[in-house]
Amino acid sequence: MLKDVPISEDVITQVVVESQTEQPDETFNVSPQLKYADQINSLIENLNKIQNIAVQNLPTIIGCTITGNDDTEILLETARYYIISDSEGILKEGFSTSVKVDENIATCHRKACTRALSKFHETESDWGTVWKINKPKQWSYGQWTIDVLLSNMVQKGLSPTQAVDYWMVEIQGKHIPNWAKKRGTSSQAIRDSVEKAKSQIEQSNKGFDYSSTDYFNRTYRGIRTSKGNAIVEVDGGYLYPRRDLHRFTSTGSFSWGSGGSGPKQLAVAILADALQANDIPSYLATAFTGYLNRTIGDEDEWEITKDEVISWVDKYEDDVDQSEGSMR
């Protein structure tokens, strides 16, 4: 029923209950979900509509937010969602052409945004109306792919400027004079930058040796550098720490082989990515932390595949079910 609604069911239920004007009937012990089922379902339906409208127009919404004035502002972006301040009610006006944006809808989004921002130590201020918009999977995958591409080019020896020029001109097909104007430089400077990027890419032989199975099974790789920094990637790209789910570390840093907060953040990140999940129970993260520490130990380099993660989760849940069954 919730589909892709960015608001949790407990928040929706709370908002509906708080909006009721009649005195609570204590004659029968009926759960709010049952008592206000029609109101809850109606609110969920309208929240779904707003999410769908936002996704259909997401490139335009984000484009206007980035390039426009202060009418809208991205307060937080995670791997999974945007939180956007709508101080002048511009987005509200747009949503209202298809959905009646009542107080309950606005309250749901405010409560969800406040909860999310609090995980990043953001305090509530005069945001006006705020919206929490879930990213479609294709959007997140696209951002991750760009991250892999640009990071890989820098690893091959390109400067950040050359990498962006190459991406804009050779991959995005930007008209060079247009991109030169955006960059505040000449068309010839852009051409020179792109040619240097091409040359550097052709000369570089850095990369992984993949087997055929690697192309269909995500692989998580960890490396501890000579300076002691712990780097974890998935398929050569950035592994989101998913602090929006659990904020074990303030910066999203990873570590392994110990009982601190870093291994727990790593466990959450791998589980969320492998399971494509937006809710990782604390008990599961704790158990998987122990598994990773036992499996990886204190190695400077390690790797684990998505299939291994899913196999561990299936076995762990089976063991839990059997344990609970034996106690009945």
CATH 1.10.10 fits 138-203, yes or no: yes
Non-local CB neighbours of 98 within 8 Å, separated by 6+ positions: 49, 53
Q: What are the tens digits of pLDDT across the range 115-153?
A: 888 877 666 667 789 999 999 988 988 998 998 899 989
Confidence of residue 2 (pLDDT cuts 50, 70, 90): low
> Residue 308: its pLDDT value, please?
96
Could you give the CA distance from residue 68 to residue 59 in angstroms, rounded to a whole number?
14
The amino acid present at 166, given as its one-letter code, is Y
Tokens of 42: 């109606």
**What is the crossing angle of helices 103-118 and 9-19, to 10°?**
140
> Residue 104: its pLDDT value, please?
95
Domain ranges of the chain: 9-135, 138-203, 217-326
DSSP state, 21?
Answer: -
- What percent of the chain shows pLDDT beyond 90? 63
* pLDDT: which is higher, 313 or 33: 313
> Residue 269: its pLDDT value, please?
96
pLDDT of 312 strictly over 80: yes
**What is the crossing angle of helices 176-183 and 187-203, to 10°?**
100
b/e per residue 198-234 (b: at least 16 CB within 10 A): eebbeeeeeeeeeeeeeeeebbbbbebeeeeebebbb
> Residue 36: its pLDDT value, please?
86
CA 12 to chain CA mean position, Å = 22
**What is the crossing angle of helices 103-118 and 37-56, to 10°?**
70
Place of tokens 């974890």: 232
Q: What are the tens digits of pLDDT across the range 247-285?
A: 898 888 999 988 789 999 999 999 999 998 888 999 999
Tokens of 53: 């409208």
Q: Would you say how long the chain is, in residues?
A: 328
Could you give the CA distance from residue 170 to residue 194 in angstroms, rounded to a whole number?
8
Give 158-172 as a 3 state SS string: CCHHHHHHHHHHHHC
